[in-house]
Amino acid sequence: MNRSHALAAIAWIAFTVPLFAEESPRPASAKNLPARPAPESVASESTTAAEPIERQPYRIIFHLACHPSSRIDSARRTELLREWQVMARRFVGRPWSVTIAPPSGRVLDLDLEGLEKATPAQASAFEKAVDAGSYDKVWVVHADRPRGESGLVFSGREYDTATRRLGPFQRRSVEVLADAPRALLSFTLDLFSPTALIEGKDAGKVLLKVRGSAIEPASPIGRVVSEGTIFQPLRLISTKTGTIVVKIIPWSYLRVESVDGALCRCASISGLNDPLSQSYIQPNTLAAVGIKPGNVPLRLRFVTFKEKLPGAGLTLIGRMVPGTATRELGMTDRSGRIVLPAGFADGLVVVRLLAGNLEPVREFPVMPGESAEERTIPFDPHHQCVAVEAEVDSIRDEVVDLIALRARLEARMKARLEGEDWDGLEETIREFDRLTPRDQYAKRLAELKEKAARDQAETRAPILTRTAQMQFNEVQAMIDRYLDDETARAYRKALQDGRAEKDAKAKAQIAAAAARAEALRKAALREATEKAAADRKAAEKAQGNPTTPAPPATPAPPRSPAPTAPAPAPPKSDEPVIPF
Residue 9 sits in the same domain as residue 75:
yes
**What is the C-alpha separation between 419 and 429, in angstroms, rounded?**
15
Cβ contacts of residue 174 below 8 Å, gap of 6+? 151, 152, 153, 154, 180, 182, 183
pLDDT higher than 60, residue 343:
yes
Residue 333 sits in the same domain as residue 307:
yes
Mean pLDDT is lowest, of 27-31, 215-219, 560-564, for 27-31
Q: Render 49-94 in DSSP notation, one character per residue.
A: -SS-GGGPPEEEEEEEEE-GGGT--HHHHHHHHHHHHHHHHHHT-T
pLDDT of residue 1: 47
373 assigned to some structural domain: yes
Residue 104 confidence (pLDDT): 75
Share of the chain above pLDDT 70, in %: 82
Q: How far apart, in whole angstroms, are the C-alpha atoms of residue 219 and residue 555?
A: 139
212 and 105 part of one domain: yes
Shared-domain flag, residues 18 and 127: yes
Q: Identify whether 579 is part of a domain.
A: no
Same domain? For 200 and 303 the reply is no
Residue ranges with strand state E in 120-270: 137-144, 152-160, 165-166, 170-174, 195-202, 205-210, 230-238, 244-248, 252-260, 263-270
Q: Bridge partners of 155?
A: 142, 171
User: In the structure, what pLDDT confidence band is assigned to residue 26 with cuts at 50, 70 and 90?
Assistant: very low
* Whether the Cβ atoms of residue 60 and residue 138 lie closer than 8 Å to each other: yes
Strands of 380-443, DSSP E: none
Residue where a domain terminates, one of 290, 317, 338: 290
Report if residue 447 sits inside a domain: yes
Please check whether residues 390 and 330 belong to one and the same domain: no
Give exposure, 200-223, as e/b (b: 16+ Cβ within 10 Å). Answer: eeeeebbbbbbbbbbbebeeeebb
Give the per-residue pLDDT at 215: 92
pLDDT digits (tens, 9 = 90+) for 319-333: 999 888 999 999 999
When pLDDT is cut at 50, 70 and 90, the band that residue 116 belongs to is low
Is the pLDDT at 312 greater than 90? The verdict is yes
Listed residues 290, 317, 340: the one ending a domain: 290
What is the value of pTM for the model shown? Answer: 0.70
Whether 374 is in a domain gets the answer: yes
What average pLDDT does the segment 533-551 reach?
Answer: 69
* 3-class state of residue 270 by DSSP: strand
> Is 122 part of a structural domain of the chain?
yes
Let me know: does 291 contact 230? Beta carbons within 8 Å. Answer: yes
pLDDT at residue 20, as a whole number: 33
Phi and psi angles of residue 66, each rounded to the nearest 5 degrees, phi first: -110, 125
Domain assignment of residue 219, given as a range:
3-290
Is the pLDDT score of 34 beyond 70? no
Whether residues 173 and 252 fall in one domain = yes
Question: How many CB atoms within 10 Å of residue 405?
Answer: 14
Residue 163's pLDDT band, with cuts at 50, 70 and 90, is confident
CATH number of 362's domain: 2.60.40.1120
**SS3 letters across 432-483:** HHCCCCHHHHHHHHHHHHHHHHHHHHHHCCCCCCHHHHHHHHHHHHHHHHHC
Most confident of 42-51, 229-238, 512-521, 550-559: 229-238
Least confident of 128-137, 194-203, 330-339, 527-536: 128-137
pLDDT digits (tens, 9 = 90+) for 390-418: 999 999 999 999 999 999 998 998 898 88
Distances (CA, A) of 239 to 1, 244, 302: 10, 6, 33
Pick from 381, 416, 439: which residue ends a domain?
381
Question: What tens digit of pLDDT does each residue of 474-530 get?
Answer: 999 999 988 888 888 888 888 888 878 766 776 777 777 777 777 777 888 888 888
Per the domain annotation, does 529 fall within a domain?
no
What per-residue confidence (pLDDT) applies to 68?
87
pLDDT of residue 177: 84
Q: What is the mean pLDDT of the chain?
A: 81
Answer yes or no: is pLDDT of 431 > 50. yes
- Do 156 and 264 lie in a common domain? yes
Residues 345 and 443 in one domain: no
Considering its fold, how many domains does the chain have in total?
3
Tell me: do 238 and 339 sit in the same domain.
no
Say whether both 191 and 251 belong to one domain.
yes
pLDDT tier at 579 (50, 70, 90 boundaries)?
very low
Q: How confident is the model at residue 255 (pLDDT cuts 50, 70, 90)?
A: very high
Domain assignment present for 337: yes
As a three-state string, the secondary structure of 554-576 is CCCCCCCCCCCCCCCCCCCCCCC
Helix/strand/coil for 48: coil
One domain, residues 325 and 453: no
Q: Is residue 90 part of a domain?
A: yes
Residue 547 has pLDDT above 60, yes or no: no
Highest mean pLDDT (candidates 63-67, 129-133, 301-305): 301-305
